[in-house]
Amino acid sequence: MANSGWSEKVLQLLRRMNNFYLPGSCRAHCLRFEVDGAQVGWIPPHVAPLLTRYPDVFSPPRGGAVALCPGLDTYGRRSEAVDAVLQTLRQEDFLTCLRGWRDEQYSVMQKFSDPPVMWMERAATSLFGVKRYGVHLNGYTVGEGGEVSMWLARRSNTKQTYPGLLDNVAAGGLAAGVGIKHTLIKECQEEACIPAAIAERAHPVTTVSYTYEDEEGVFAESQFVFDLELPLDFKPKVGDGEVHDFYLLPIEEVKDLIATEDFKPNCAMVVLDFLIRHSFIEPDTEPRYQDFVAALHQTL
């Protein structure tokens, strides 16, 4: 049977990464963020009062929602008006998340398949609870005897978020207007020096979705996950400085590690999904199997 201690630690991780759905979260007190009649996010209680100072951009809260003013009726107008507000709030230095300003534009839309209604600075997305998308790569090897190992990255100690923790071999956010596979190949090259000729072999396999809250806001995220079997003689190399080092570990060791505090939480979820899909976790021996699967695919 499965190790019950390991199972409970993984379940705690999944609950933490989906705490927006749990009783007592800020969800009951959030306002819907609406653009052109469609909900595209959740505005946390501490953010809504700040927005009422900008009546030319945000309509007063009504019916549990804050909407962009109707006069902001194009992608460009909405993006520029909201960015101007965020630049002002950034100068006031009241919202800690804006100290991590990235100059990265993320698309805002109700569903990924919808045309974006605007773009928003990456660091500000948690203030509006808009869905953020990214790509994550499971880079693994299969030995001559069939044994599976996985390449993991150790994040640089200078990273803004989760410094020094274990990570997938390559991952990155999906910037506005940039394709998913293109982003994956770019991140492979920049972070792990995986050549495009190898990275192009990666297969899209699933998405991992979750929503959590913390003091900086609401993080609604969905990651496009790829698997890539890497050649046995290939070793990733540190590229852009976002990674401290890479390690090739047996899959059972990787399984143990995702239940520790040494792993970046959403990357642990991506690895958990890999373990399930490749039958390293099976329903006959893991009593929390269904809980794990459900928690990897939570969407609002």
pLDDT-derived band at 3 (thresholds 50, 70, 90) equals confident
| Same domain, residue pair 160 and 217 | yes
What dihedral do alpha carbons 118, 124, 127, 130 form, nearest 10°? Answer: 40
| Same domain, residue pair 100 and 16 | no
| Same domain, residue pair 16 and 155 | yes
Q: What is the C-alpha to C-alpha distance for residues 52 and 134, in angstroms, rounded to an integer?
A: 31
Q: Is the pLDDT of residue 67 over 60?
A: yes
Q: What is the mean pLDDT of the chain?
A: 95
Contact yes or no for 269/14 (Cβ under 8 A): yes
- Single residue among 98, 113, 131 that ends a domain in this structure: 131
In the chain, % of residues over pLDDT 70: 99
Which CATH number covers residue 52?
Answer: 3.30.750.160
Which residues share a beta bridge with 214?
A: 217
What dihedral do alpha carbons 179, 230, 141, 7 form, nearest 10°? Answer: -20
Which CATH number covers residue 194?
Answer: 3.90.79.10
Domain span at 118: 26-131
Helix (H, G, I), strand (E, B) or coil at 40: strand
Q: Is the pLDDT of residue 161 over 90?
A: no
| Same domain, residue pair 139 and 222 | yes
| Same domain, residue pair 184 and 256 | yes
What global pTM score does this model have? 0.95
| Same domain, residue pair 263 and 288 | yes
Positive or negative, the CA dihedral 120, 124, 125, 129 is negative
| Same domain, residue pair 220 and 277 | yes
| Same domain, residue pair 246 and 103 | no
Q: Is the pLDDT of residue 299 over 90?
A: no
- Single residue among 131, 146, 169 that ends a domain in this structure: 131
Q: What is the C-alpha to C-alpha distance for residues 143 and 158, in angstroms, rounded to an integer?
A: 34
Q: What is the pLDDT of residues 187-214, one digit of tens each?
A: 999 999 999 999 999 999 999 999 999 9
Q: Helices 4-17 and 265-277, interaxial angle, to 10°? A: 120
Is residue 90 included in any domain, yes or no?
Answer: yes
Residue with tokens 């009241």: 94
- What is the pLDDT averaged over residues 102-121? 96
| Same domain, residue pair 91 and 143 | no
- What is the pLDDT averaged over residues 273-281? 98
Token pair for 261 = 């505090």
